Amino acid sequence: MQEIYSALLLHSAGKPITEENIKKVLEGVGATVDEGKIKALVTSLEGQNIDELLKQAVVTPAPPEKKEEKKAEEEEKKAEEAATVGLSSLFG
């Protein structure tokens, strides 16, 4: 994955995506260099329009926060109801 990030960084900087450049980026941040992965990535990107590939990328949206908020509110309401029932039993 870090090889892909390096390629995207090079692309955004307008630098050629080569094995040597990806290796420099990875070494520059102290990451492990896997020559095989780098070679495979560069080979797979040859002749590709990276801007078009990025446009076609499938982005999975994060689950709506409303569902999470609603669930939290329901749990809070249940806890309040349980506390109310507990208190009412004390007073008969």
Top CATH class, 2-56: mainly alpha
Q: Rounded to the nearest 10 degrees, how much is the dihedral formed by the CA atoms of 20, 25, 28, 29?
A: -140
73 pLDDT band (50/70/90 cuts)? confident
5 pLDDT band (50/70/90 cuts)? very high
Which of 1-5, 29-33, 82-86 is least confident? 82-86
What is the model's pTM?
Answer: 0.62
Domain boundaries, the chain: 2-56, 61-92
- Residue 72's pLDDT is 78
In the predicted model, is pLDDT for residue 30 greater than 60?
yes
Which is nearest to 10 in space by CA: 41, 56, 35, 55?
41
In the predicted model, is pLDDT for residue 60 greater than 60?
yes
Distances (CA, A) of 65 to 40, 57, 75, 79: 38, 23, 15, 21
